[in-house]
Amino acid sequence: MFLSCSRLGLHYPAPLVVSVTLIVYIYLPTTTPNLEIHSTMAQSLNFFLSTSPSPDFTHSYSKPMLHNPYRFTRSPRKSIVLVSASADNGQGGLGLSAVTADYVSDNGAKPITISAPDSSSIEVDAVTEAELKENGFRSTRRTKLVCTIGPATCGFEQLEALAVGGMNVARINMCHGTREWHKSVIEKVRRLNEEKGYAVAIMMDTEGSEIHMGDLGGASSAKAEDGEVWTFSVRAYESLRPEGCITVNYDGFAEDVKVGDELLVDGGMVRFEVIEKIGPDVKCLCTDPGLLLPRANLTFWRDGSLVRERNAMLPTISSKDWLDIDFGIAEGVDFIAVSFVKSAEVINHLKSYIKARSRDGVIAVISKIESIDSLKNLEEIIQASDGAMVARGDLGAQIPLEQVPLAQQKIVEVCRQLNKPVIVASQLLESMIEYPTPTRAEVADVSEAVRQRADALMLSGESAMGQYPDKALTVLRSVSLRIEKWWRDEKRHEVMDLPDIASSFSDSISEEICNSAAKMANNLEVDALFVYTKNGHMASLLSRSRPDCPIFAFTTDTLVRRRLNLQWGLIPFRLDFSDDMETNLNKTFSLLKARGMIKSGDLVIAVSDMLQSIQVMNVP
């Protein structure tokens, strides 16, 4: 391949980039300016350089590469042959990630970049790699972390800080912000993945068509005081919103409410009593003061129960949601979380829509359990979905608060049985929106979710608009690690009875293999489970057993790798592999050893999609 180097004002054939299995050769003609070597993936890279045609010098270097490119000054009259590899001897190394060589011209002209991504390499994010190297297998975090992105975290550096802090999935909430804003967040996350080797997945959360307030005309909040009278109106104000007036998105609102009803903002953060109805305007007396936030959710209660008049007929996916879904498909998001799901039907409908529209047809659909109907139809909804979210914010506005913890436990359990990832969301560390440390009660709540072995925990306002997003993420991370360690130290293996879920004989074999492999892993105290999986299914079956050791999930597909990032205990790697397990294992051992992620003697159990077997072995 020849590249033109005209940007440097030099006219010679650009270097030949040949990618031969594990070695990358970059020939630099004598006229080439100096060379800079970067690796965006490898934390450290061993490489060697020599001169050509007569190799009167060869140099071998071992360098920490993540942030420091290695700069090489060209020797006068000789070409440089760069052979990059990560094996120690530099003779055709292993484990090479994308390596980039930039020419750095002396006159300050912009460097050009040659990328030589090596298809034989293995991709894993830098944070996991560092964790594995420093603390060994056992200590990697099993519980995954989702962060809602908002004004506090939408910059590239802020997103990077979250990725470094352990964010596995970035959530964008279509209730807030413009599509352009969300697009720019998606682009930044993708760039972060490409440049820094992360596999942060994107989850798009639909607005849904429940009743909520308008956006307060641009104000970030409004304070409602005890005894004040506010007007809730379905009028569309042409210009400025009058003082003390709140718009409501649901046209039937003024007809549905009755004088004497109680109106709850965000499930009770602020309360009003309906005192008078005048056409489209509903006058309400503030009985519990507090802050009104833009687009806050509204529910109304009569005689102690939630009123669901015609609003129960509102579609789960509104016309605006469909446009957002089209946007999500076009942007290639990894997950779509559907708000206020009422039945399995809507999920089936959405899944077939995605299948027909999306390039790869593989956006996972997560049902948000946050309404009375979703609890009523829980099992069939979860069965139809690719995962679920315990959306405690709205759930707590629809059922009495004291029922929320039991609902959470039930949802987590059903998801586990049906092998669907589950996220516990909302108010985990609510006080950290304002304060740098959590309350003891919040820490206990997070612990409980980890103890229930939910797949993932989610930050909402804490990361979207809070003062301490990184600190909140650190709390989730350290509490998760602590509780997980306690599980292992106590050898508290799961007593949960996992029902058979396979729908074919072949699936039954996979299921039996994974259940047995996980059990063997605990009994033999192995260091890691390896799973070679094309579509991720076997990896999720292993995760379902919540074994003591981490699960290294190797997949050929970048999209599958990102999706697996939501599931408990899985460390997803992207790797090209064949149907020959012997070769795959040898290759993986070499690659991981070269990167310092495993060592000789480690005990591993391997299973795969291709060959339905269980292999137990020591790393050679």
Chain residues that interact with Mg ion, rule: CB under 5 A: 370, 391, 393-394
- Report the residue number, 325 or 604, with the smaller CB distance to K ion: 325
Candidates 127, 293, 344, 559: give the one binding ligand ATP (CB under 6 A).
293
Closest distance of CB 154 from Mg ion, Å: 20
Closest distance of CB 427 from ligand ATP, Å: 9
Closest CA to 575 of 566, 564, 419: 564
Closest CA to 610 of 510, 508, 514: 510
Closest distance of CB 340 from K ion, Å: 9
H or E stretch covering 181: helix 179-196
Exposed (0-12), middle (13-18) or buried (19+): which is 484, by Cβ within 10 Å? Answer: buried
- Report the residue number, 32 or 247, with the smaller CB distance to ligand ATP: 247
- Report the residue number, 339 or 377, with the smaller CB distance to ligand ATP: 339
Pairing between strand 603-608 and 528-532? parallel
Which of K ion, ligand CC(=O)C(=O)O, Mg ion, none does residue 321 bind to, with CB < 5 to 8 Å depending on kind? none
- Report the residue number, 66 or 149, with the smaller CB distance to ligand CC(=O)C(=O)O: 149
d(C-alpha 179, C-alpha 327), whole Å? 8
Pairing between strand 298-302 and 262-265? antiparallel
Q: Name residue, tokens 């005990």.
A: 603
Q: What backbone torsions phi and psi does residue 335 show, to the nearest 5 degrees?
A: -135, 145
Which of ligand ATP, Mg ion, K ion, none does residue 550 bind to, with CB < 5 to 8 Å depending on kind? none
- Report the residue number, 183 or 295, with the smaller CB distance to Mg ion: 295
d(C-alpha 111, C-alpha 120), whole Å? 27
d(C-alpha 305, C-alpha 308), whole Å? 9
Site for ligand ATP in 163-182 (CB under 6 A): 173, 175-177
460 binds ligand ATP (CB under 6 A): yes
Which distant-in-sequence residues (6+ apart) come within 8 Å of 137 by Cβ? Answer: 527, 528, 549, 550, 598, 602
- Report the residue number, 84 or 173, with the smaller CB distance to ligand ATP: 173
Inter-CA distances, 29 with 32, 49, 103, 215, 363, Å? 6, 14, 12, 61, 46
User: Which residue ranges make up the site for ligand CC(=O)C(=O)O (CB under 6 A)?
Assistant: 339, 368, 370, 391-394, 425-426, 460
151 binds ligand ATP (CB under 6 A): yes
Stretch of 139-147, 237-245, 461-469, 577-585 contacting ligand ATP, by CB under 6 A: 461-469
Strand order in the sheet with 262-265: 245-247, 229-233, 281-288, 270-278, 262-265, 298-302, 305-306
| Helix-strand-coil split of the chain, %, nearest 5 | 35, 25, 40
Closest distance of CB 132 from ligand CC(=O)C(=O)O, Å: 32
Site for ligand ATP in 315-374 (CB under 6 A): 339
Neighbouring C-alpha atoms within 13 Å toward the C-beta of 136 = 7
150 binds ligand ATP (CB under 6 A): yes
- Report the residue number, 174 or 514, with the smaller CB distance to ligand CC(=O)C(=O)O: 174
Candidates 95, 165, 393, 438: give the one binding ligand ATP (CB under 6 A).
393
- Report the residue number, 15 or 393, with the smaller CB distance to Mg ion: 393
Which of ligand ATP, K ion, Mg ion, none does residue 150 bind to, with CB < 5 to 8 Å depending on kind? ligand ATP
Closest distance of CB 165 from Mg ion, Å: 24
567 binds K ion (CB under 5 A): no
Site for K ion in 200-219 (CB under 5 A): 205
Inter-CA distances, 182 with 151, 173, 179, 216, 319, Å? 11, 9, 5, 21, 18
Candidates 86, 148, 299, 543: give the one binding ligand ATP (CB under 6 A).
148
d(C-alpha 81, C-alpha 58), whole Å? 9
Q: Number of residues in contact with K ion, rule: CB under 5 A?
A: 4
Closest distance of CB 416 from ligand CC(=O)C(=O)O, Å: 20
d(C-alpha 95, C-alpha 435), whole Å? 44
Can you point out the beta strands (E) in 21-143? 23-28, 34-39, 44-52, 58-64, 70-72, 79-84, 99-104, 113-115, 122-123
Residue sitting closest to K ion (CB): 205
Which of ligand CC(=O)C(=O)O, ligand ATP, Mg ion, none does residue 392 bind to, with CB < 5 to 8 Å depending on kind? ligand CC(=O)C(=O)O
Closest distance of CB 232 from Mg ion, Å: 20
Burial annotation 557-585 (CB, 10 A radius, 16+ → b, else e): bebbbbbbbbbbbbbbbbbebeeebeebb
Closest distance of CB 511 from ligand ATP, Å: 34
Closest CA to 409 of 365, 367, 448: 448
Q: Which two tokens stand for residue 460?
A: 């909402």
Which of K ion, Mg ion, ligand ATP, none does residue 124 bind to, with CB < 5 to 8 Å depending on kind? none
Closest distance of CB 294 from K ion, Å: 13
Which distant-in-sequence residues (6+ apart) come within 8 Å of 556 by Cβ? Answer: 534, 574, 575, 576, 577
d(C-alpha 520, C-alpha 286), whole Å? 60
394 binds ligand ATP (CB under 6 A): yes
Closest distance of CB 153 from ligand ATP, Å: 9
Pairing between strand 99-104 and 70-72? unpaired
d(C-alpha 273, C-alpha 261), whole Å? 6
Residue sitting closest to ligand ATP (CB): 460
| 8 Å CB contact between 6 and 110 | no
461 binds ligand ATP (CB under 6 A): yes
Closest distance of CB 339 from ligand CC(=O)C(=O)O, Å: 6
Coil vs helix vs strand at 525: coil
Candidates 112, 465, 501, 614: give the one binding ligand ATP (CB under 6 A).
465
Site for K ion in 321-380 (CB under 5 A): 339
Candidates 16, 175, 501, 614: give the one binding K ion (CB under 5 A).
175
The residues binding K ion (CB under 5 A) are: 173, 175, 205, 339
Residues at the interface with ligand ATP (CB under 6 A)? 148, 150-151, 173, 175-177, 205, 293, 295, 339, 393-394, 460-461, 464-465
